[in-house]
Structure 1
């Protein structure tokens, strides 16, 4: 188990020991930056806990039916909720499959798609079918488009392969824009709780809730009630980039597992082994993803921050350009990418302050970081438009 988790040896070793000793907690909190393997580790943990094979090392190629279902992310005793960088991840996997159509890349492509599609599991939406009317035909279309690219399927020939992969990606983009997956409704959490209290079909049930810190108050409270008295043979894996952003009552009912940012060598190993590509000049997986999406967010973030530092009015048309690019990346997902780019540029300025005068005092940078966090909160929690959030952020930073 965990053969494909690279660069997180302390977490993998700890989980393996706890599984073998049968001391794994009911609720696990995976915390650390994006692109560190939290989701992949959670899914591999689910495979290990549901495996019915005789080999308790649970190798990736285990032939048991449960492991087969988990490899395809179709096991009914595993549910996935919450938002993540769906569009970017799917686009990267699609690019990899266009280069190399061998089985490992087909699994990679399928799994990135299933991470999105399984958010619409009927168990989670029972009684709210009206909300899925736009999505249901798209999910059927996705199954049909994806089928030729599944492991073991006969691939289309020539240009049809590339066109077919692009068709899958386009359908995923439509699905992602139809429903706000970050905003997990309280009723969905309640249905998750009801599902958890039913006996598993096999050894265990696993619920993976990504970016749990983004849950609204009502959904958090509903989840907390479930975590207070977790059913037997059920494990909840919660993930977050920032452990401090998770409310204390949820943190206190979970065991924390910290994921570290991978170094250049480890990142290169992930890129070459998982994506079958050369890392090139990209020192991190995040940089690799950014270099591949072709949207130019980093350059836009640089122009945005240059305008702030200059103390003038914002460059004519810049907000429209940023807003269009954010929309191309899936709206909420794209907004977060842009905020991340601005945040990274601020970190660069902060490091530069240690060796030279860059003209932006540390106290100002600290204030900017707070304003950036507030802008993200307004966008995610209060439905503020991207343009309004960024314009308010710009003038707030400029006047600091």
Structure 2
């Protein structure tokens, strides 16, 4: 079990111990940097706990087959993710190295997106899916035909399939319906957990819980306070600090280590069949959206330095930056880079230009960043206006702290 999880020995050891001792709780939080394997581990945990045998990766029981193909009726998945990048990278891998393993890699990456549109999640809100329903159905039909054993595909056919599917993925990811967890979904999840009978364990995987709006967080908190029988709730986050304490107190936390360059190279070699690369997983995935990580780092550094030096009166200096990073492709990566830079400033030497940045100020800035992300993903508000407001509020808050207001 967990043979498919690379370079996370510590957290896997804890999970195995908890499973073997019977101490595994029904409410868990997996936290760590993006691309550290949190979702893969959650899916593998669900497979292991559902297995009718011993949980080995190559087990042929029906439950294991369904979890490997992400078709289990006892699984719900919701929340935002880097869908476009993962699907594009997996499709390229399948095209370059056609095999049952790379085909499953692509199928799973697409179904991670498709499972966000399960009928149980959208009951009562089906009208909200009108703009993407055609693309969802086309994607589902395409990956069903790709299932190993269904039919043979030439390499040229695979290229056409990947390109055709990419347009559907782009349309779905461009909408707001795949990016957040609305309160109605939490209510539907609660009903599903309590109504689905039988002895088979149920699993709910919620990604990006740090970005939930208040109403959704409160509904999730109520579900955690009264957990359904035989149902596992697995929360996934890249920013634990964005989760309210009352939720943190009701889950067992499992920390995922950042994947350094060596670990990234192993993942790229073994999963994506890329040899002799010298890039991080973040660089690899963002490159599929045309995002350059070096430019992101420079832009985030410039924002922090300029605000510290000049305050809000230098906001005009960000006009070009706002135009560049307010686009759909750049907005979220830029906010992630800002958050990463701020986390580094929490170290004891977190001082810039002679001015000490207090943990309270950094927490305030992170709150502004989270708010900008939620307003963009949940309410589709204007990227340029959100970035301008974010930078203004950051500058204004540091002016107040300097003046002692």
**1:51-102 Cα deviation digits (max 9, x unpaired):** 12x3x1x122211111111011110101111111112222221222222111
**Counterpart selection for 2:254 from 243, 253, 257:** 257
More deviation, 285-294/88-97: 285-294
**1:223-275 Cα deviation digits (max 9, x unpaired):** 22222222221111111222232222221211111111123322222221111
How far is 1:135 from its partner? Answer: 2.5
**Counterpart selection for 2:243 from 243, 246, 250:** 246
Query: Quick one: distance in 2 between partners of 1:197 and 1:247?
Result: 25
The TM-score, its normalising length taken from structure 2, stands at 0.84
Asked if 1:84 corresponds to 2:78, the answer is no
How far is 1:390 from its partner? Answer: 2.0
Rate the CA distance shift 1:48–1:162 in 2: closer, same or farther, 3 A: same
Q: Which runs of 5+ in 2 are unaligned?
A: 399-405
Asked if 1:320 corresponds to 2:313, the answer is no
The residue matched to 1:197 in structure 2 has which SS? Answer: helix
| C-alpha contact 2:28 2:233 (8 A) present in aligned 1 | yes
Query: Quick one: distance in 1 between partners of 2:114 and 2:390?
Result: 34
Query: Quick one: distance in 2 between partners of 1:216 and 1:350?
Result: 25
Query: Quick one: distance in 2 between partners of 1:232 and 1:218?
Result: 24
Asked if 1:217 corresponds to 2:220, the answer is no
Asked if 1:41 corresponds to 2:37, the answer is no
Query: Quick one: distance in 1 between partners of 2:122 and 2:61?
Result: 29
1:1-400 to structure 2, matched below 5 A, reads 1-52=1-52, 54=53, 56=54, 58-201=55-198, 203-278=200-275, 280-282=277-279, 284-296=280-292, 298-299=294-295, 302-303=298-299, 305-306=301-302, 309=305, 313-314=316-317, 317-323=320-326, 326-327=327-328, 329=329, 334-344=330-340, 360-361=353-354, 363=356, 370-371=364-365, 373-381=367-375, 383=379, 384-395=381-392
How far is 1:4 from its partner? Answer: 0.7
The TM-score, its normalising length taken from structure 1, stands at 0.85
| C-alpha contact 1:82 1:210 (8 A) present in aligned 2 | yes
| C-alpha contact 1:182 1:214 (8 A) present in aligned 2 | no
How far is 1:17 from its partner? Answer: 2.1
How many pairs were matched up?
A: 385
More deviation, 116-125/141-150: 141-150
| C-alpha contact 1:31 1:242 (8 A) present in aligned 2 | yes
How far is 1:155 from its partner? Answer: 4.6
**1:271-324 Cα deviation digits (max 9, x unpaired):** 211112126121x3223323444333542552575477566643665433333x
The root-mean-square deviation of aligned C-alpha atoms, in Å, is 2.9
| C-alpha contact 1:145 1:167 (8 A) present in aligned 2 | no
Rate the CA distance shift 1:2–1:372 in 2: closer, same or farther, 3 A: same
More deviation, 218-227/115-124: 218-227
How far is 1:120 from its partner? Answer: 0.8
| C-alpha contact 2:29 2:234 (8 A) present in aligned 1 | yes
Query: Quick one: distance in 2 between partners of 1:361 and 1:345?
Result: 17
| C-alpha contact 2:69 2:108 (8 A) present in aligned 1 | yes
